[in-house]
Chain A
Amino acid sequence: MRAIITIALRELRGMFHSPLAWTLLAVLFAICAYMFNAGVLSYQIQMLEYQTYGMRGGLPLTERTIAPMLGNAAVLLLLLMPLLSMRLIAEEKRQGTWPALACSPLSPMGIVLGKYLGLLLFLAIAIALLAIPPLTLYAFGNPDTGQFLAGLLGLFLTAAAFGAVGLAASSATDNPNVAAVISFGVLLMLWILSWMGNASGGLMDKMLAYFSLLNHYQNFLSGVISSADLIYFLLLSAAGLLFARQRLMAERIQG
């Protein structure tokens, strides 16, 4: 356990030692903040129109501002997470530091968990950052805190699943760029899986719809935390980690 935390903290520090993590956070934050502002502006205009026609009540604030921003943040992370996760294992192999880790008294799963935990810590920072723009809404309105938090949780779980897939890809090659391409491909495929899920309503379509990341994330964004969605994300993450572990085990045998 101490070793896993040690690896995680080194990983986190390593990310901030490279300009990549900083750039990534800056880009993520800037784009999300812009999107959020755009969302708030369009909400204001719509509210004005609404009131002009004398309609009572209003438009759902969180639904119109925070949810779209978090939805777009997930798409951004779909692009950025492969860049962040690609180096986790592949870079160690390329740099020749892998033996120092692999000769330490750690199981392959210990290494994988340490790396993954490091990535999750980074994600926690990134998502805490993304929570800042929506928080400003509390000064002027009354956002739905439940929905907001569910969205953040959904974003974290989604990005964590991205990371697990990225870690698996990183374990499969010793070229980080290849790892990034693989994980981006897999993630995009998972994201858009439901596109073919509406064709006929048959079993195949239902399966496609179930495996689609987008569908599960959407539930969180609308404020619904269901165990089905939680299990989906946990399973996807676990699958990524187990794949990475298997790769590391097989490597000892295949060489």
Chain B
Amino acid sequence: MTETMIHLSGVTRLFGGVKALDQINLEVRRGEVMGFLGPNGAGKTTTMRILSGLLAPSEGSVAVAGIDVLDHPVEARARIGFLPENPPIYGEMTVREYLDYLATLRRVPAARLRAAVERAMERCGLTGVQDRLLRNLSKGYRQRAGIAQAIVHGPDVVVLDEPTVGLDPIQIREIRALIRELGGEHSVLLSTHILPEVRMTCQRVAVIHQGRIVADDTLEALENRAQGNSIHFLRWKNPPTPERLEQIPGIFHVTPREDGWLITATPETDPVPELVRLSAASGWDLRELTQAGGSLEEIFLHLTTREERPEEGSEEPSA
């Protein structure tokens, strides 16, 4: 069961001379849910559009379930379900008509159509609204209908672009449970910038930043890696400048947060005594100091704010 269902290799995409994607390599195995993280504009959507055949890569190769997307676009698309950022909803159709329509286009045989649509509605919690017009449904239901169209034809690969944006907390929880359930049967590539979502749904994580994959590993491995560095959260009444903090030996990165600062130091040095001494001596008035540990948020901040650090650059996926 280690068959590769999504395979991107050396994918580069130019938009009018600007590199939106730069040599992307990505693999998702059968039954795996992969989180695809990155700040806005990093290239998540472009990657997903290339994967689902909406865009052609400028360079590189893309395969879905072993089928080359460029050589056999139609066959490859039969194996994929895609939920774009805005669910592709025909307002004048009912939920059932909509799924019937798209299931037919996705080559679900007429004899199995009804069962396939029923199942997709059931999995996405749409059975109760199946005869309502999509136009009249709430954002949450439309989002579910968008997910339902991505899975109704039983594709090997499901690509979801920020599926929980704009939903209320209960809906988010339901959708996440659904996504977790989708893995196993489908291979899922899930883009998001909500980090807890990744923890709840994904086995592996790829982080993209400025069009390049800067990390691709299991969640634990990423967290272990971050724990190598010591990360502290500090809050001062009169905070110093980040430049001043970076002069302290051992500290190599300072990330401002709304309420304070995340400070990253190399594992060999403990910056805490020096920080405390300086805070007292310089009148910064320290109010809080906690060990932040290797939470996903910090990993993410590292990878996307200091992507030029050598140890991260060398940790490309071994493919």
Contacts and interface: CB of A to CB of B under 8 A. Distances in A.
A18 B77 contact: no
Given A99-B52, A99-B82, A252-B56, A104 B89 contact: no
Interface in A85-105: 95-105
Interface stretch (A3-11, A39-47, A70-78): A3-11
A105 B104 CA distance: 10
Contacts of B149: 100
Contacts of B55: 252, 255
Contacts of B87: 96
Main secondary structure of the interface of A (DSSP, over half): helix
Interface in B106-160: 106-107, 149
Nearest to B75: A105
A96 B104 CA distance: 20
B105 A97 contact: no
B275 interface: no
Interface string B57-101: 000000000000000011101101110101111111000000001
B154 to A, nearest CB: 13
Interface residues of B, number: 31
A252 B78 CA distance: 17
A130 to B, nearest CB: 27
A105 B76 CA distance: 7
A102 B54 contact: yes
B53 interface: yes
Contact of A103 (B13, B75, B80, B91): B80
A253 interface: yes
Contacts of A105: 74-75, 77-78, 105-107
B53 A7 contact: no
Contact of B88 (A17, A18, A99, A106): A99
A255 B16 CA distance: 10
Given A96-B86, A96-B88, A107-B74, A102 B53 contact: yes
B314 to A, nearest CB: 31
Nearest to A6: B104
A98 B104 contact: no
A106 B76 CA distance: 10
B165 interface: no
Nearest to B92: A17
A97 B54 contact: no
B72 to A, nearest CB: 10
Interface centre among A14, A96, A98, A253 (most CB of B within 10 A): A96
B102 interface: yes
Interface centre among A100, A106, A107 (most CB of B within 10 A): A100
A201 B22 CA distance: 59
A106 B54 contact: no
Contacts of B15: 255
Contacts of B73: 107
A7 B13 CA distance: 31
A18 B92 contact: yes
B52 A103 contact: yes
A106 B53 CA distance: 11
A56 interface: no
A87 to B, nearest CB: 12
6 contacts: A3-B104, A3-B105, A18-B92, A99-B54, A103-B80, A252-B53
The 9 closest A-B pairs by CB, nearest first: A100-B88, A105-B78, A104-B105, A97-B88, A96-B86, A17-B92, A105-B77, A99-B84, A103-B82
Interface of A: 2-3, 6-7, 10, 14, 17-18, 95-107, 252-253, 255
Interface of B: 13, 15, 49, 52-56, 73-75, 77-78, 80-82, 84, 86-92, 101-102, 104-107, 149
